[in-house]
């Protein structure tokens, strides 16, 4: 008797559960999971169609276009995502949220020079925008402008988020730089640089402990951001060829 199950059957079963849950609780998180599951089955267009049917019910056009962009990006249709974003920008010009998404997608495509320009424009208008700072740091690391990335990061240290969700980007910045510092090759560093590396890594560990003093909500947002930053470093920086645009 063969106890092994067909992986595709398992994914189909999971898809069925997700769709049942979605019928009871039609949230964006559930929708994302359904689309990604269709993608895993090689039925990407069907997943996009499922999402579009739901997104058409969103009255807020800007939100609908943003979510369309997110869905397309999740299933590696980055060119289409950029087009959807440009449509949104043509209707809602100078919208900071849309610009941030544009920068994020450019980073994902490893178009780091263009991404850095987008985030620089945003930061000219709002110097304490942690989301844009994190995007800029990713772009600078992607361009191997490590000193500038460190300078941008250090400038962000004094910015204290006013609301708990903003701690996500504080955590993202720390996750990015912790990963970057950890990956510095000690063999190529002088004694002073080695001490600086150790001091920074110790500092990150201290922050991870101290963050609990700000309450559970802040801690959760911070740690989610920290993980996202480490993942972004791995996906955008260490994989593939870096581009300067």
Q: Is the dihedral of CA 45, 106, 234, 216 positive or negative?
A: negative
Short-list 21, 41, 40, CA closest to 31: 21
Measured between alpha carbons, how far is 80 from 8 in angstroms, rounded to an integer? 27
What contacts 40, CB < 8 A, 6 or more positions away? 11
Instruction: Tell me what pLDDT residue 28 has.
Output: 87
**What separation in angstroms does the CA of 193 have from each of 150, 176, 178, 185, 197?**
14, 19, 15, 11, 6
Angle at 45 (CA atoms; ends 34, 108), nearest 5 degrees? 75
pLDDT of residue 68: 92
pLDDT tens across the length of the chain (245 residues):
455 667 888 889 999 999 999 999 888 888 999 999 999 999 999 999 999 999 999 999 988 988 999 899 889 898 888 888 888 989 988 889 899 989 988 998 889 999 999 999 999 999 999 999 999 999 999 999 999 999 999 999 999 998 988 999 999 999 999 898 888 766 566 777 777 778 777 777 777 778 878 888 888 898 999 998 988 888 765 554 445 44
Residues 6+ apart with CB under 8 A from 11: 37, 40, 41
């Amino acid at each position: 008797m063969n106890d092994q199950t067909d992986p595709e059957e398992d994914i189909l079963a999971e898809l069925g559960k997700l769709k049942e849950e979605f019928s009871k609780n039609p949230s964006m998180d559930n929708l994302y999971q359904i689309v990604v599951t269709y993608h895993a089955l090689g039925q990407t267009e069907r997943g996009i169609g499922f999402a579009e049917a739901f997104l058409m019910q969103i009255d807020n056009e800007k939100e609908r276009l943003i979510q369309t962009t997110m869905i397309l990006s999740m299933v590696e249709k980055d060119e289409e995502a950029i087009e959807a974003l440009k449509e949104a920008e043509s209707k809602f010009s100078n919208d900071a949220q849309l610009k941030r998404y544009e920068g994020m997608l450019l980073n994902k495509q490893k178009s780091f020079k263009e991404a850095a320009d987008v985030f620089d424009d945003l930061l000219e208008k709002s110097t304490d925008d942690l989301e844009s700072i994190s995007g800029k740091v990713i772009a600078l690391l992607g361009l191997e402008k490590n000193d500038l990335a460190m300078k941008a990061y250090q400038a962000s240290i004094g910015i204290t988020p006013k609301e708990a969700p903003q701690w996500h980007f504080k955590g993202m910045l720390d996750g990015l730089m912790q990963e970057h510092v950890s990956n510095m090759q000690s063999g190529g560093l002088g004694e002073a640089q080695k001490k600086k590396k150790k001091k920074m890594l110790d500092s990150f560990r201290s922050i991870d402990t101290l963050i609990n003093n700000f309450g559970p909500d802040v801690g959760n947002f911070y740690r989610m951001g920290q993980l996202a930053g480490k993942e972004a470093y791995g996906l955008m920086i260490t994989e593939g060829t870096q581009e300067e645009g």
